[in-house]
Structure 1
Amino acid sequence: MAINNPYTTYQNNSVNTASPGELTLMLYNGSLKFLQIAKKAIEDRNIELKNTNIQKVQAIVNELMVTLNRDLEVSKNLMSLYDYLNRRLAEANVKNDLSILEEVEGFLTDFRDTWKQVVQVNRQKQHAGQGGQA
């Protein structure tokens, strides 16, 4: 008999009810979480944990690349940046280089913070549009 974990249920509901913008924000947050684990793993000389978490960040960056709307000019620029980040992550993984992970973290933090603002502006617009309705 399976026991439902309330945290897992909450996580599943969060993902299932999130807007595309909120899902992107979750990806950025996840990438930053995995980067932190990878950085700590390098410090602790835990190569397996470092490798696993850098690969998770790479998978997220790949997902962000796949979801880009290639018709937009900004997407072409983001594609180049994401490609650069993936190459840097591979290099950090091979060299166990914390400074490269910190560089990648800076980019992903900036992307996440910008995207968070976009999501907040969109929410405000949605709520403003619903405010006049009965």
Structure 2
Amino acid sequence: MFSTATAYARPQQFANAYRHIGAETGVSGASPHQLVNMLFEGYMDAVAQARGGMRTGQIERKNRGIQRALRIVGEGLRGSLDLKAGGALAQDLNDLYAYLELRLTQANLRNDENILDECQRLIQPLREAWSAIGDKVGATGRG
């Protein structure tokens, strides 16, 4: 269902996108598959940070979390799609990521945890599927 060769662009684009959104160590030696895993993890962490900020009334923390989630979606996940080579899958992911960007912005404006829940629920199946194919990707020698 997911393939780094079809839906996503070159491995260097993953690394550049991840570095650009403030990733820490481990990026240079990571495969494209691992980089996407890092993006999914970072997204979930950012949404959790935003939720924590909402619950405690820490506006700056909420904003920081939502802005980070938006950058991961827009610059990391969406920005790394290869819409020409990826076909319908890449277009569907692009549409999902555009929707997530809209909903994250609405969550920030409305201070709405329910929208954050929706945003996590939408990414969770992708995150799980991507993680599940990790062994297969590694076994075939593809990144």
TM more than 0.5: yes
The CA deviation string for residues 50-93 of structure 1, in whole angstroms up to 9 with x for no partner, is 01110000000002111101022100011100000000000000
1:110 is aligned to 2:122: no
Structural mapping, 1:35-50, within 5 Å: 35-50=47-62
Residue in structure 2 matched with residue 61 of structure 1 by the alignment: 73
Amino acid at match of 2:122: F
Give the equivalent residue in structure 2 for 1:101. 116
In 2: Cα distance, 1:30 partner to 1:82 partner: 15
RMSD of aligned residue pairs (Cα, Å): 1.4
Task: State the TM-score, normalizing by the size of structure 1.
Answer: 0.82
Unaligned runs of 5+ in 1: 1-10, 127-134
Which piece of structure 1 moves more, 84-93 or 33-42? 33-42
Q: Report the alpha carbon displacement of residue 21 of structure 1 after superposing the two structures with TM.
A: 1.1
Q: Which residue of 1 aligns with 2:29?
A: 17
Aligned pairs, number: 116
Matched, 1:83 2:82: no
Question: Percent of aligned positions with the same letter in both sequences?
Answer: 31
Which ranges of structure 2 fall in alignment gaps of 5 or more residues?
Answer: 1-23
- Whichever of the two has the greater Rg, that structure is 1
- Give the distance between the partners of 1:108 and 1:54, measured in 2 at CA: 15
Does 1 or 2 have the higher relative contact order (CA < 8 Å, sep 6+)?
Answer: 2
Distance 2:32 2:108 in 1: 30
Match for residue 132 of structure 1? Answer: none
- The one-letter amino acid of 2:80's match is T
